[in-house]
Structure 1
């Protein structure tokens, strides 16, 4: 049996895979999931899951899909094993560092500096660094 937290974690994994935010590995994981679901379960018993597979799911659709996957896994030990293995790879793809491409285009007008970034850890300062404190007067 899979606990409800797993469904929530599964939903959080599905969104970046389906949206393309997880890069090529995420796309491949999404295609693999869709293929297995269609081959093994068809479209009939899971219209909400099929809808999520057809369109990149937002958070609510991903939660419904994840809940459905957990229910399928609870009733099918073979699928449960496949889903567990798939999730290990999919989670790695969804959580991996991804390349970021920042584009300034069109009629954009930049005066001064431009900083584009992905992840910042720690401090970030702009402008001239502060002057060091004056030396204490000798006694």
Structure 2
């Protein structure tokens, strides 16, 4: 049986359900940006902008839950995961503003920001998984 070390079971469950979703949305938006860059079909950048918005909406609740536990004394891997994810979300907000421009103005800055967001979230998840595995 796994304990949550004084954490609410509901919060832990909600966090576990919602945490991976933004990475999926941001990864799909990144792929759509790359497809748009290859063919310049406006549909792809419109879809990417919606995916970024959905990813941001879903990313808020897990970050709030992890922020609460950050101040209650989290382990170092969880703190690193929180700060890398928060930086990725800040970049995703900037990316949402870039994607609100005309479709031709999205390239290349939108693609660069999408790449950074996905890379930061992957780095955050991989370092957390590897550090928890060795602990």
TM-score by length of 1: 0.32
- Give the number of the structure whose alpha-carbon radius of gyration is greater: 1
Instruction: Identify the structure with the greater helix proportion.
Output: 2
TM-score, normalised via structure 2 length = 0.33
